[in-house]
């Protein structure tokens, strides 16, 4: 059997030194930072599968998360800033109530900022009331909810309902993403868009404000 020497495999195995060496090597070879992020996403998915199969445990998820965060800190300044000057539009993003996973949400934020959006990051475990408060204050074009736990499905619906009840739904676009999200969840909860990846979310946001 041949050994998998990929970056994704190194991250899925929480092999920090191998992850760092691979990233350095790829950056030196001119690989685009966004491609490196995509390989890391795959590694995190595999790490989750190993956790579900009891091949690794919670401390491994935590360590994997820490490695991924340090990768993002390194790559963020390298992701091409395509838009300078005044923000082109505003977005509000958060991980829904009871969900503390923030790596994917932060990638979406990083990419939206890269195309010139001003992004209000509400963080993790964001209650419906907090989303409503931020929408009232910042008047965003788009709101993004991140959900990685199936137990948090109801939090997506509760957030959409709270936004509607506050009279803020008209003219506002709602997108949902994260490992537990799906087109069905988006449809059932009354969102406008489901994004499988951060790139999908950015494409949706771009098209909303007429950016090419």
Q: Is 197 in the site for ligand B12 (CB under 6 A)?
A: yes
Which positions from 1 through 40 interact with ligand B12, judged by CB under 6 A?
none
Q: Is 115 in the site for ligand B12 (CB under 6 A)?
A: no
Q: Is 186 in the site for ligand B12 (CB under 6 A)?
A: no
Of 88 and 106, nearer to ligand B12 (C-beta) is: 106
- The site string for ligand B12 over 75-114 (x = CB under 6 A, - otherwise) reads -----------------------xxxxxxxx-xx------
Q: Which stretch binds ligand B12 (CB under 6 A): 58-66, 115-123, 155-163, 182-190?
A: 58-66
Q: Residue 154, SS3?
A: helix
Of 3 and 54, nearer to ligand B12 (C-beta) is: 54
Of 102 and 121, nearer to ligand B12 (C-beta) is: 102
Residue 80 burial (C-beta neighbours within 10 Å; 0-12, 13-18, 19+): exposed
Q: Total binding residues for ligand B12 by CB under 6 A?
A: 42
Binding residue for ligand B12, selected from 173, 180, 185, 186, defined by CB under 6 A: 180
Of 1 and 88, nearer to ligand B12 (C-beta) is: 88
Look-up of token digits 């709101």: 143
What are the residue ranges of helices labelled H in the chain?
7-12, 16-28, 33-52, 58-75, 103-114, 128-138, 153-165, 183-189, 198-208
Q: Is 175 in the site for ligand B12 (CB under 6 A)?
A: yes
Integer Cα distance of 149 and 131 in angstroms: 19
Are 113 and 149 spatial neighbours (Cβ–Cβ below 8 Å)? Answer: no
Distances (CA, A) of 110 to 25, 59, 85, 122, 201: 23, 26, 17, 14, 12
CB of 85 to ligand B12, least distance (A): 25
């Amino acid at each position: 059997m041949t050994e998998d020497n990929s970056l994704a495999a190194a991250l899925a195995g929480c092999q920090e030194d191998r992850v760092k060496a691979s990233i350095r090597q790829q950056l030196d070879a001119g690989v685009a930072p966004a491609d490196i992020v995509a390989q890391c996403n795959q590694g995190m998915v595999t790490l989750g599968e190993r956790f579900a199969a009891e091949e690794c445990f919670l401390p491994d998820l935590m360590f994997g998360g820490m490695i991924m965060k340090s990768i993002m800190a390194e790559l963020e300044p390298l992701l091409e800033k395509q838009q300078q000057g005044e923000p082109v539009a505003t977005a509000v993003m958060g991980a829904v109530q009871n969900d503390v996973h923030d790596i994917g949400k932060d990638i979406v934020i990083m990419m939206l900022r890269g195309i010139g959006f001003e992004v209000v990051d509400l963080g993790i475990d964001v209650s419906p009331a907090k989303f409503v408060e931020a929408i009232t204050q910042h008047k965003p074009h788009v709101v993004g909810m991140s959900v990685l736990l199936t137990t948090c499905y109801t939090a997506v619906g509760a957030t959409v309902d709270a936004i509607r009840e506050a009279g803020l739904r008209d003219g506002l676009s709602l997108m949902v993403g994260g490992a537990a999200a799906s087109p069905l969840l988006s449809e059932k909860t009354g969102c406008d868009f489901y994004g499988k990846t951060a790139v999908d979310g950015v494409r949706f946001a771009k098209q909303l404000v007429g950016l090419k």
